[in-house]
Structure 1
């Protein structure tokens, strides 16, 4: 045990009796984790639906899954996960023949390496491949030969989900990349010349502070776009440089907007204009255009107006210089809408048909001005579509054989009233004819991210077993725009917690489920939310699933990537922020509360988690074990060798089956069709 069990902060001392659990390699922590593992495995033996859920989830994901294709010089690059594959493989398709370029399982037979990102060069001869191992999300950037699949040089180490922007082939084999979370002053945009070990990487744009996230893109072969995102406050800085005739090592970066309360994503159109999806003058975002030679916001003109009821989450520009088409994707309470706009007729957008009520992601323009996007819904695995200007989306690749019979899922919206009178929407999913009963209520409520209804084999298996699934669109998320986010961020974060409490009460009051049939579920920031809700209202539900949650909101800045999130949560160094943090911090609310009954709790933690840090679920579990009284379990499912992000298919299925079998056992779900 440590000699100092408290964290000294103004204006006093905050108890922290389980600080010792922040050390994951100590003998005490290792012994403690072994005890929790025994408890979890013993409890899981009684979960009758566990094997059936795992089998159904596996059957639902046992399909061929393609990523978005990228075309380069007649070659098509994409990832493909076949039926039975543990990880997607990077493949290249040439003249209709498919060849594997990188297989994570061949690279690492242990299965702990993931393919995090990849980007082919403009001539298709090389591809930059980013991998990480053990779930850390910190890894290496390798350049492979498209011909051989072998590395052409030593890896660039110490990158994390870096953006890669290749220079045109005429400027040599080189690319820009970003360093995001190094603590040695290297954060920023760098230029790397392939195959020239004597030429050091050049720092093109250093980050102004240690808490901004850099980004880089190269569009239409000459326009360099550099950005810095400032935490989660809907603000970034943006620069543009014309590489035509300029040195790639020293591009002349011209500010588009710097130091202003604006968040923008930019692209170059075929007409030579700079197009921006922006919050400038539009909290739910609009699209503006401007001459890239004089890109200040005062010169922007609107080409797609704001919708006051739906967030503009993506856009792409294609067409010809005199016939530009802008495709936009908006989200209205979790459901995407796709529209085609032309600057000549800005008030007359054309609705683009989608397969159902789902989500559109990754709207991008290819080198031949085709627009690609991904689509998924609750019952439909992710599929890729390609769209040509003026046409209708076509699925890629062409599906072979008859389409499987779709699963019908009904969706409806309920409205709950939060503590301050704010209406909070709740979306409820069920199979046709499903009766009120065991229900999982999910929430996220952070970082301005809207809940979108994509495919989840876990949710679908739960619905097929007879359960219901609800999503609370609480403040703090981006479901209703920037104001909705800020109303539940910083010192207002407790509103997100109380919105979730109201949503749970509404499901019970409306007869959708009984109190003993309700399970709250959330991951990461959503895990914080569900734990904070039951710490405030232990009688709220029968069970809670908190996956890789934040929990100690006094120490969060010192764990994982927490130092990057002070715009979202505040900082314990500020007395008023600390007061707000302590008001909802689950770890501290449980510690200072009287011992008493809590719902059944399942926490999950991952030893390689470099985002939220697995100290959060460890400490939260210890606090609950100290204070929870009664027969309901407090369990920690802890995994080594994985982290916050992607993992092998089998490990993902095992995690999902365990969590939902726990929910079934605690809510009394009786299977109807598994």
Structure 2
């Protein structure tokens, strides 16, 4: 019997509520039917094996993380070429080598933890790790089956053997080791399971615990760090990308189990993060009075906003995306990373005056990640772009040109050249929205600037249009082997920088959040229309693509405009916005989407909720033809519950025309994986399936490969 809820006087049908029960026999039988549908359809996708081969080719390089330095030791993760998972490794640094360890080579690394060795099934992932101040111990967090709620265990870095009992049920907990005394660490519990949410202090040897501080409310996400070996920073995020509260405690002023926290920023609608410079000052990257973000400095004894001194001002047009205090106590500096429509630039500033000292010579137009200072004042950072997988670079003190780290790391495989163009379209309310277009060089005529009249019209190509538009996160152009494989196969790839993301500052995010979320859908519709109007693609050759919050966006756009495109890929999407607060982590996201409890929020949610738009469309316009949709769902997903794609698939199937002869929606459903990282083989299979579906629906034809160059 169909369920109908009455919300704010409005009947809200939910005929597939039963699909929220993942282990119900009816659900299991229904999933078996969907698996047969998917297998039958996928057998007719000619590019699937070719795309999988190309994706693997471009992943065939060692993937390093930014290193962490401890006395006589350097630690990092590396996923060797051909391996399924990253492993945690350590380098013993002989006496006499520089503190920054520029001379460390890749080959003598010692394995501390390897998830593939610990679990040959490949279901276990290494989620996080943090060495203690001495480098003799390291806390590692692992999870199994994709649930992202796993085990925190302390290991000896010398041999990888565990000490003390593990902590179970943690979810990406921050770990902050105490600077003195017997080895102990602070960690956070984000869930109610296993104890009160907040900060706990735990002795490594025997697991003895003390409760330190509770969260201020159920909708917050706690965090904890130790800065400079003595300052304990406690943070609470109120809605991802909306507001941060911070407190600071001096661990030398009292017992570690009872730190005396002083407010840094509390109750202010701003995102702020803090770090300690080599000069002992607190540096804060903040949106307070700066929607594009700025950096301020304060003394740790007077950390409140009334004592902040602006060091690096905001720059309109470039979001200050990351920073790292570096240099020395006598000559403190700040590495600053800014993002402009997905492309990063980096500069080094004098930390005392804020004046730019030099521009960092990055390898190309790409993405910088995880900048972190070393003991000698150097900065390590990750760099990736559309054609090259992430590599680690070391920027020496006083230098403008970073060099590869570690020595001997393999170069990435060769790739085609990619041209990038930005065009602008107008959304329904007149707002100009940027769209980045990527094309492999030689694949088509270059896109002329709008209104220039220059050049021949661009050749229409099968096109993937991607959008995310959530939580203030900008879409940045790092490496994606899947995108590169699509481009190399002759397709075009576009990104709509819609409102709700952080692509054009904080105001751009807030304009597409909460009751403004329908604007993000309108922006995506406008971007799709613009690609067709400019001749870059045709409707039958356009596929929308998005995951998680982006999956919600592409489904909402297709439900609002069924004629918009030929196909849709929605990976682990949100779909039922009347029930999202009851599924996965939805209760934590009311700042981003609103809440059904508020009548105005509810009206906005129902205006674009894809599940309900399709249910209502089936009643108003029986047989309405939607684009072909491929949904992916993961049984271990604890963020966007897999009930969303299950229910969305059922609604689309029920709305289909019987004479179509093929399912209007396919569900690719996986067990033992979740929303986050997985083994490389499973990631390649998922990506190849999704993009082979897109190729089939948009008419992308396989190219004949040139000898030795699988991208040709």
Same fold (TM over 0.5): yes
Match of 2:244 in 1: 236
Question: Helix, strand or coil: the match of 2:109?
Answer: strand
Cα deviation for residue 588 of structure 1 reads 0.0
Aligned with residue 408 of structure 1, among 417, 433, 441: 417
Match of 1:211 in 2: 219
Match of 1:175 in 2: 185
Contact 1:140–1:159 (CA under 8 A) maintained in structure 2 = yes
Alignment of 1:158-557 (within 5 A): 158-168=169-179, 170-182=180-192, 186-197=196-207, 199=208, 201-232=209-240, 234-391=242-399, 392-399=401-408, 404-435=413-444, 436-557=460-581
Match of 1:638 in 2: 669
Cα deviation for residue 37 of structure 1 reads 0.2
Check 1:174–1:20 CA distance in 2 against 1; reply closer, same or farther (3 A cut).
same
Distance in 2 (alpha carbons) for counterparts of 1:401 and 1:234 = 40
Check 1:143–1:583 CA distance in 2 against 1; reply closer, same or farther (3 A cut).
same
Moved more, 231-240 or 448-457: 231-240
Cα deviation for residue 467 of structure 1 reads 0.4
Distance in 2 (alpha carbons) for counterparts of 1:530 and 1:402 = 36
Distance in 1 (alpha carbons) for counterparts of 2:197 and 2:500 = 28
Aligned with residue 651 of structure 1, among 682, 689, 703: 682
Match of 2:65 in 1: 67
The answer to whether the aligner puts 1:607 opposite 2:607 as a matched pair is no
Contact 1:158–1:182 (CA under 8 A) maintained in structure 2 = no
Cα deviation for residue 184 of structure 1 reads 6.5
Cα deviation for residue 349 of structure 1 reads 4.5
Match of 1:18 in 2: 16
Distance in 1 (alpha carbons) for counterparts of 2:302 and 2:348 = 27
Check 1:624–1:107 CA distance in 2 against 1; reply closer, same or farther (3 A cut).
same
Contact 1:476–1:485 (CA under 8 A) maintained in structure 2 = yes
Question: Helix, strand or coil: the match of 1:459?
Answer: helix
Aligned with residue 147 of structure 2, among 130, 136, 153: 136
Distance in 2 (alpha carbons) for counterparts of 1:98 and 1:344 = 38
- CA deviation profile, 1:229-254 (whole Å, cap 9, x unmatched): 10035211101111124211111111
The answer to whether the aligner puts 1:562 opposite 2:572 as a matched pair is no
Match of 2:653 in 1: 625
Question: Helix, strand or coil: the match of 2:289?
Answer: coil
- CA deviation profile, 1:157-196 (whole Å, cap 9, x unmatched): 110011111112x322011111112256621111111113
Contact 1:325–1:389 (CA under 8 A) maintained in structure 2 = no
Check 1:402–1:299 CA distance in 2 against 1; reply closer, same or farther (3 A cut).
closer
Cα deviation for residue 78 of structure 1 reads 1.1
Cα deviation for residue 559 of structure 1 reads 0.1
Cα deviation for residue 333 of structure 1 reads 0.2
Cα deviation for residue 80 of structure 1 reads 1.3
Distance in 1 (alpha carbons) for counterparts of 2:629 and 2:573 = 12
Contact 2:518–2:607 (CA under 8 A) maintained in structure 1 = yes
Cα deviation for residue 483 of structure 1 reads 0.4
Alignment of 1:99-114 (within 5 A): 99-114=110-125
Aligned with residue 626 of structure 2, among 563, 573, 598: 598
Contact 2:146–2:677 (CA under 8 A) maintained in structure 1 = yes
Moved more, 366-375 or 64-73: 366-375
Cα deviation for residue 12 of structure 1 reads 2.8
Distance in 2 (alpha carbons) for counterparts of 1:303 and 1:590 = 51
Question: Helix, strand or coil: the match of 1:628?
Answer: coil
Cα deviation for residue 4 of structure 1 reads 5.8
Cα deviation for residue 408 of structure 1 reads 1.0
Match of 1:8 in 2: 6
Match of 2:448 in 1: none
- CA deviation profile, 1:501-541 (whole Å, cap 9, x unmatched): 00000000000011110000000000000000000000000
Question: Helix, strand or coil: the match of 1:110?
Answer: coil
Cα deviation for residue 402 of structure 1 reads 6.7
Aligned with residue 78 of structure 2, among 77, 80, 105: 80
Question: Unaligned regions of 5+ residues in structure 2, if any?
Answer: 94-104, 445-459
Contact 2:468–2:546 (CA under 8 A) maintained in structure 1 = yes
Distance in 1 (alpha carbons) for counterparts of 2:259 and 2:227 = 14
Cα deviation for residue 542 of structure 1 reads 0.6
Question: Unaligned regions of 5+ residues in structure 1, if any?
Answer: none
Match of 1:668 in 2: 699
Cα deviation for residue 369 of structure 1 reads 3.3
Distance in 2 (alpha carbons) for counterparts of 1:500 and 1:399 = 44
Distance in 1 (alpha carbons) for counterparts of 2:413 and 2:671 = 37
Question: Helix, strand or coil: the match of 2:504?
Answer: coil
Distance in 2 (alpha carbons) for counterparts of 1:313 and 1:349 = 19
Moved more, 63-72 or 30-39: 63-72
